[in-house]
Chain A
Amino acid sequence: MAASRPDPSTGRSTGPSPGEVVLEAHGIRFGYDRQVVLEDVSLRVRAGEFVALVGPNGSGKSTLLRILLGAIRPDAGTVGIFGEDPGRFVERWRVGYVPQRPNIASEVPATVEEIVTSGRLARRGWWRGLSASDRSAVGHAIESVGLTELASRPVTTLSGGQQQRAFIARAFASEPDLLVLDEPVAGVDAESQRRFSDSLTHLIREHEAGVLLVSHELSAVAGAVDRVIVLKGRVLFDGSPDELVRGGVSLGVHREDLPLWLEGLR
């Protein structure tokens, strides 16, 4: 595995090498009490790869995500973020995370720009001031989700879809090498979904980032996904969207679309 190059301004690595494994799980087993939630789950995400993790409700997607991010430890198996155990992984800024429902305090108004700027802190070093390149990265992240004209507006005055785009931009601002998104477009308008897809494609092409998207609705990103992993306690399918389509399942919103198929797996 090739090492990442250091950024001369911060001394931190600038990005993964093409094809580098950015996230890996092997033989994951996890259960609550006597109920097994995950059994022998293995997956791998490489730099520049867009992987969609799908599964019906209760299939263990959220639990697996928490294990991958190091929030909980599996009963068996190993996880590697850039080759390191999540508990020992120091360069957390290399992982951009977009939660499904961010729990943001709104007592004092905070603008889109202020929220997105906070996403830059972890990469820059939270104690350092922002340089011109940091401000440029923040502006670029806001632009990439189509919120430039709303940058000075308080986040809480935006629609749900616009707010979610702001939180995606916050993750983009650190120029992550791995982006993990937990159902980021659930209940989001069509315009925001299109912007979201364009932004992910840009991040993958420009920065060679690996993307792991957890969702059960992939129509917005159907053209960008490289690989689909279907989870239901264990990995039922791991392959390209074409292979899934050949099996009679479409990622789009047709009669035989993915959400209906996943529902049939329950």
Chain B
Amino acid sequence: MTAASGFPFEFAYMQRALVAGTAVGIFAPMIGIFLVQKRLSLIGDGIGHVAFAGVGAGLLLNVWPVWSALAFAVVGALGVDWLRARRRVAGDVALALFFYSGIALGVVFVSLGGGLNANILTYLFGQPLTVMRSEIRVIVGLGAAITITMWVFRRALFAVVTDEDWSRAAGLPVDALNATLAVLTACAVVAAMRIVGILLVAAMMVLPVASAQLIARSFRGTLAWAVCIGVVSVVAGLWAAWIWSLAPSGAIVLAAALIFTICSIVKRAAPRSLRQEEHA
């Protein structure tokens, strides 16, 4: 492993990676905080696997895989939400059903299309350094739509994910808001898959939130910290990948995991008096 020197973001491909990655660092935790509160932290993983089927279908049918992945992911997310809401099957079983069906369908489509190739691996594991301008437009466009929608709906979504029974009794449109969250999650998975990969996309939704909830004392504070940690993880991961020639997607997620570890240690090392006050 050779170490590079200099400022990494003076190169055009690193700048493109930074722009797309920063967008992911902002919108992924914004979705993730609601999924974590709803105890659906792994749903991003499940939808990612359905999106993989969409990528396979796109390559097979010669359609841009981003659009086919988006179609599959949205249908999959709404399907999981529908099954969960009607309690036809338990939440984790519903997730497993889509999880395994999605990946199996993806494998079948990929084999029909001639087997694994570098293009597919790019979607599975992510590769921000080769992201093109057209892809940046999609990532930033979807990210902006997700961010704006989440901001407008944040209070209602907070009420629903925190106390669904009460929200229903109060007359909030719980089913519509849950469906909106499912569709936005699907959009976030597809928008982020080119940067961190289908296999790691859920990590960028969950890890920054997991770190933030250790240091924040409110939902709003957790959201702000999670977005900051998401962006810092992207910048630090890209920088580390540049210095040590690492896979950028893995480096980004490892940076997020390292921040979580640091937050945990700091939280444990905090003066006992502070922790006691918090739980008084």
Contact = CB atoms under 8 A, between A and B. Distances in A.
B158 interface: yes
B222 A108 contact: yes
B6 interface: no
Interface string A94-111: 010101001111011111
Nearest to B156: A126
A114 B169 contact: no
Contacts of B159: 118, 121, 126
B38 interface: yes
Contacts of A107: 36-37, 39, 213
A97 B170 contact: yes
A72 to B, nearest CB: 13
B153 to A, nearest CB: 8
Contacts of B217: 109, 111, 152-154
A105 B170 contact: no
Interface string B234-247: 00000000000000
Interface stretch (A19-27, A42-50, A85-93, A218-226): A85-93
Nearest to A180: B169
B278 A126 contact: no
Grouping DSSP codes into helix (H, G, I), strand (E, B) and loop, the A interface class, with mixed when no group exceeds half, is: loop
Contacts of B38: 105
A122 B156 CA distance: 9
Interface in B204-244: 209, 213, 216-222
B171 interface: yes
Contacts of A153: 217
The prevalent SS among residues of B at the interface is helix
B162 interface: yes
Nearest to B221: A109
A32 interface: no
Contact of B33 (A102, A108, A111, A174): A108
A28 interface: no
Contacts of B220: 114
A69 interface: yes
Interface in B119-177: 152-153, 155-156, 158-159, 161-163, 165-167, 169-173
Interface of A: 69, 90-93, 95, 97, 99, 102-105, 107-111, 114-115, 117-119, 121-122, 126-127, 130, 152-154, 157, 170, 174
11 contacts: A91-B171, A92-B169, A99-B166, A102-B163, A110-B218, A111-B219, A114-B158, A118-B167, A122-B170, A126-B155, A130-B155
Nearest 6 A-B pairs (CB), nearest first? Answer: A92-B171, A118-B159, A126-B156, A122-B170, A111-B218, A108-B37
